């Protein structure tokens, strides 16, 4: 257990480098199960979700090596296990990606249902819809999902998702890679980590086209070969640091990012009156007078990411005027509001998906508790903005998705300390 202690009000200044993308890494690492060979994955973020996932894979017989920081070598040649350790699986949400990888490699899977962030219900009916279409027999209970081939066997299929689900797109794409025939995923998610996963699979010899559009075509191949692959920089960490720079009216260069992944947030910051300039692989955020209130509506990529809704809400707490934030992806992704109100924010819940934020002149430090990963990001941003000291508890949620965030912020001049509690 640990807590962050932030003495707010200091502008962030300097350059910070982004880590590898959590949501790409947690999709790519299980996909290494598909190949009876060695994969070298670089720029892997050192976060607890990745560490848990690697523990799960090792427990299944994947041989792991860590030749240098942020590099993992995985050899799945000896793997025969199709039932990952349920106690570990329950610790992180993306463990459901093991279903697609095991179905694709072995035709069987028995995976406990995951835990992860507790905002909103996190159904997997679209994943199941995909597995059924691919010819799997699905035994789904409250505790696990078990997959095996039906009599007709596993095969490619055309699947139209009811909504552009990131998780379902990942699971179906991975499961289909080694299946005979063609699989077409319609209404597919287009997030950068979907493209990164497709690039990783294609670097192993898969035949996947259309990732990044809403129609992905997978032509099944007989087998794959090992590869070396570098994970893209984390779009959400980039956005969180952009927001923190604006929130503290600092001057920060975020290095090693992909500006085109950030367009929805960049546009909103520019609309607020924040100065944002882009280079090939860096973004600079500087203040420029009054920060105006704006309206934000979360959408699937390339719209405003739901994962940035919470830190953006903190920034809007001190904007000039009244902002609205509409969360269209996850219902009730507002568990951070009470904590922000404790710091002096004026936020009204209009209905289950929309809030009204009346900008205030000051936020005040207070003891606050993290309820989910991106709520943690919101509370860090608010603590950096607030007058006085903010103590942030339950920081383990933050460790799931941000690598050494307190060190990165301290290197930018933030007065933030991490204190062990027990
Ligand atoms: C992924 O979650 C991310 N997690 C989330 O990031 C992110 O918020 C989300 O995509 C949206 O971008 C990982 O990549 C590990 P979805 P996922 O399937 O796959 C509904 C973070 O902070 N839905 O795109 O669970 C679902 O309830 C995390 O890094 C179904 O109804 O998101 C939601 O309303 C939080 N049935 C919407 O679709 C399904 O079978 C989008 O969910 C699947 C999803």
Beta strands in 78-180 (DSSP E): 109-112, 136-140, 144-149, 158-160
Question: Is the predicted pLDDT of residue 418 greater than 80, yes or no?
Answer: yes
**Amino acid 116: pLDDT:** 54
SS3 209: strand
Tell which residue, 372, 365, 366, 367, has the closest CA to residue 399: 372
Per residue in 277-301, pLDDT (tens digit) is 999 999 999 998 899 999 999 999 9
pLDDT computed for residue 122 by the predictor: 80
pLDDT for residue 61: 97
Q: In the predicted model, what is the mean pLDDT of the chain? A: 96
Q: Residue 181 corresponds to which tokens in the numbers above?
A: 């025939």
pLDDT for residue 333 is more than 70: yes
Task: Check whether 332 has a pLDDT greater than 90.
Answer: no
Q: According to the model, what pLDDT value does residue 142 have?
A: 86
What is the predicted pLDDT for the residue at 26?
A: 98
Burial 214-225 (b: 16+ CB within 10 A, else e): eebbbbbbeebe
pLDDT for the residue 118:
65
Q: Minimal CA–CA distance to 378: which of 356, 358, 360, 401?
A: 401
Model confidence over 361-417: pLDDT tens digits?
999 999 999 999 999 999 999 999 999 999 999 999 999 999 999 999 999 999 999
How close is the Cα of 50 to the center of ligand 1, in Å? Answer: 17
pLDDT of residue 98: 97
Residues annotated as catalytic are: 117
Atom index in ligand 1 nearest the CA of residue 191 equals 12
Ligand 1 atom nearest to 116, measured from its CA: 35
Q: Which residues face 355 on adjacent strands?
A: 325, 349
Which tokens in the block code for residue 205?
């010899």
pLDDT(338) > 80:
yes
Phi, psi of 39 (to 5 degrees): -115, 140
Instruction: Give the per-residue pLDDT at 261.
Output: 98
Do the beta carbons of residue 51 and residue 44 sit within 8 Å? no
Instruction: Give, using CA atoms, the residue closest to atom 35 of ligand 1.
Output: 307
Closest-lying ligand 1 atom to the alpha carbon of residue 22: 29
Q: What pLDDT was estimated at residue 119?
A: 66
pLDDT of residue 117: 58
Beta bridge partners of 74: 39, 64
CA 374 to chain centre: 9
Pairing of strands 354-358, 367-369: unpaired
Using CA atoms, how far apart are residues 384 and 376, in angstroms rounded to an integer? 12
- Ligand 1 pocket (Cβ < 6 Å) reads 22-23, 26, 93-94, 117, 122-127, 163, 165-168, 189, 191, 306-307, 329-330, 373-374, 401
The DSSP 8-state label assigned to residue 331 in this structure reads: T
Distance 189 CA to ligand 1 centre (A): 10
The DSSP bridge partners found for residue 283 are: 254, 278
pLDDT at 335: 92
The best mutation among 122, 171, 403 to test binding of ligand 1, ranked by most ligand atoms within 8 Å of the C-beta, falls on: 122
């Amino acid at each position: 257990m640990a807590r962050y202690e932030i003495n707010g009000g200091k502008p962030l200044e300097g350059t910070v480098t982004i880590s590898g993308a959590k949501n790409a890494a947690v999709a790519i690492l299980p996909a290494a199960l598909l190949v009876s060979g060695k994969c070298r994955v670089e720029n892997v973020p050192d976060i607890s979700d990745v560490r848990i996932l690697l523990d799960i894979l090792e427990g299944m017989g994947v041989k792991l090596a860590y030749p240098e920081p942020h590099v993992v070598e995985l050899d799945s040649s000896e793997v025969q296990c199709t039932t990952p350790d349920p106690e570990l699986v329950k610790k992180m949400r993306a463990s459901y990606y093991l279903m697609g990888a095991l179905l694709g490699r072995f035709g069987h899977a028995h995976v406990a249902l995951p835990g992860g962030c507790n905002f909103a219900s996190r159904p997997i009916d679209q994943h199941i819809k995909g597995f059924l279409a691919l010819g799997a027999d699905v035994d789904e209970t409250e505790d696990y999902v078990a997959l095996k081939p039906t009599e007709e066997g596993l095969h490619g299929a055309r699947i139209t998702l009811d909504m552009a689900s990131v998780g379902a797109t990942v699971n179906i794409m991975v499961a289909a890679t080694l299946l005979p025939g063609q699989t077409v995923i319609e209404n597919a998610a287009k997030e950068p980590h979907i493209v990164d996963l497709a690039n990783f699979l294609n670097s192993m010899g898969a035949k996947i086209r259309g990732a990044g559009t809403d129609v992905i075509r997978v032509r099944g191949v007989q087998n794959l070969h090992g590869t070396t692959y570098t994970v893209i920089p984390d779009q959400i960490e980039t956005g969180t640091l952009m927001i923190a720079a604006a929130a503290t009216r600092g001057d920060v260069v975020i290095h090693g990012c992909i500006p085109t992944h950030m367009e929805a947030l960049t546009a909103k910051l520019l609309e607020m009156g924040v100065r944002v300039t882009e280079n090939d692989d860096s973004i600079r955020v500087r203040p420029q007078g009054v920060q105006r209130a704006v309206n934000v509506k979360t959408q699937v990529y390339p719209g405003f990411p739901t994962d940035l809704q919470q830190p953006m809400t903190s920034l809007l707490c001190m904007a000039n005027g009244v902002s609205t934030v509409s969360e269209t992806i996850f219902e009730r992704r507002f568990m951070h509001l009470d904590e922000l109100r404790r710091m002096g924010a004026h936020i009204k819940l209009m209905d289950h998906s929309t809030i009204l934020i009346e900008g205030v002149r000051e936020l005040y430090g207070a003891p606050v508790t993290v309820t989910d990963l991106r709520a943690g990001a919101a509370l860090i941003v608010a603590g950096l903005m607030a007058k006085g000291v903010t103590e942030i508890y339950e920081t383990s949620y933050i460790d799931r998705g941000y690598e050494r965030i307190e060190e990165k912020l301290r290197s930018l001049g933030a007065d933030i300390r991490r204190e062990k509690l027990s």
